[in-house]
Amino acid sequence: MDMAAVLVNYNDSERSLSLARMLSSFQLFRTIVIVDNNSREEERAKMKKEKEDEIVILYSKVNGGFGAGNNIGLRYLKEQESPFVVLTINPDIVPTKKACLDCYQFLSDHPEIAACSTLMTQKGKRTRNYYDIPTFSSTMKGDGNFSRRIRSREDHEGYFTCGFVRESFCFYRFDAFEKVGFFDENIFLYNEGATVAFQLEKLGFKQAIILDGEMVEHHHVGPLITRKGFKLCKKSRSYFLRTYRKEPEWKIRLFNLWWLNVIFW
């Protein structure tokens, strides 16, 4: 099967290696790349013991964030032999073989879709893994990642399209992903998928959630939505509005003032 996977590790070697071995056991991925994002030395030492042929471990000298880490792996795959599909996945995701097969087959059958995922659960309950691409208006209304309503959703038989799929478990058509330069490395965390979707949409591609695919479980271990998390989200959203939406500076300043009320609730 012409599919590869990339996951980024930061001081979570055991979980990252466990996930990589699980993906390898599916016998679906020709290459599984772990990018170590400048973890502590003892964490790197654990990674260096890994011997499985399908698992490639790359080491970054700096922690440039989610996007930069993934791009190291994506560029490696491009240099070897670009796959048809690449999965970007976080170490706290528990995938199934069927979910991976479902997504690969879906992209094979739907050339207009550049990225897809299945529905996701967290602690046994459905959790959101799809969003609208942010606008200034939607952000100021307080929706974005926090809205219950997804305005971009369009229902089809067996799936629906949406603004963008959460990049923590997302299957990308590699050639389309490459056309937009993969992830924007100016974003450290949050909104990475939005920048990709914004550019893919301009090329005529959509993203989708498969309704009849097998669900995957998300065991969240990343940054919680704390004050620090909100600040990171604010920074990336401000960058997105300025760089991609081309909003004027007065709107960016207004957004930053509004966001202060969110951070210091």
Tallying the residues shown for the chain, one arrives at 265
**Nearest of 34, 29, 31, 27 to residue 12 by alpha carbon:** 34
What are the pLDDT tens digits along the chain (265 aa)? 899 999 999 999 999 999 999 999 999 999 999 999 999 999 999 888 887 788 999 999 999 999 999 999 999 999 998 999 999 999 999 999 999 999 999 999 999 999 999 999 988 888 889 999 999 988 887 655 545 567 788 999 999 999 999 999 999 999 999 999 999 999 998 889 999 999 999 999 999 999 987 788 877 655 455 677 778 888 899 999 999 999 999 999 998 887 766 554 4
Domain annotation for the chain: domains and CATH numbers = 3-263 (3.90.550.10)
Bridge partner residues of 35 (DSSP)? 8, 58
Spatial contact of 207 and 161, defined as CB atoms under 8 Å apart: yes
- Which neighbouring-strand residues pair with 117? 209
Closest C-alpha to 213, from 130, 121, 118: 118
In terms of Cβ atoms closer than 10 Å to its own Cβ (0-12, 13-18, 19+), residue 197 is buried
